[in-house]
Amino acid sequence: MNWYNWSIDRTLILFVGLAFLALGIQVTMFHYRQNFHNKAMWVPVISAPIFFIAGIILTWYNVYWLRNLFQGLMWLGVLFGLVGFYFHFRGVGVRVGGWALRNFLIGPPILLPLLFSAVSVLGLIAIYWEVR
């Protein structure tokens, strides 16, 4: 399977790869700011660059095993984002005042892990996309 033109799935895979580069930088800054006090904070910091590299390589070399690898990584990305949402939501709740609006504003960003999952879902859409 070779790429003959810039189809929608190829374009989406490139976008997903670049999005994980940006997400990885942002997540690293946030978790560094918190001194990685929980080992789970390392999961998106390590996985985002791997997702970025896999997406960029798949954009240029459309081979079966790499598509399968990217697909598996995107399913992991969905899972990692959902687990991160749990940790972030719980992190807001343990702050003084619980789930008050103030804590949602200054606590861990609860939407960032969901963005991680959403970008992974976009990668899965690109993988499962069939041109008819």
Residue 58 and residue 13 in contact, taking contact as beta carbons nearer than 8 Å = yes
- Gyration radius of the chain's alpha carbons: 17
Of the candidates 123, 38, 127, 115, the one whose C-alpha atom is nearest the C-alpha of residue 80 is 115
* pLDDT at residue 7 in the model: 85
Q: Are 14 and 126 in contact (CB under 8 A)?
A: no
63 close to 13: Cβ distance less than 8 angstroms = no
Distance CA 47, CA 41 (A): 11
The pLDDT, as a whole number, for residue 108 is 95
Enter the tokens of residue 29. 């800054």
Q: How far is CA 87 from CA 26, 54, 79, 84, 120, in A?
A: 17, 26, 13, 5, 18
Cβ neighbourhood burial of 53 (10 Å; 0-12, 13-18, 19+): middle
pLDDT recorded at residue 129: 85
Measure the CA–CA gap between 83 and 102, rounded to whole angstroms. Answer: 23
Structure tokens at 3: 């790429």
pLDDT tens by residue, the chain, 132 residues: 565 677 889 999 999 999 999 999 999 999 999 999 999 999 999 999 999 999 999 999 999 999 999 999 999 999 999 999 999 999 999 999 999 999 999 999 999 999 999 999 999 999 998 755
Q: Is the pTM of this model over 0.75?
A: yes
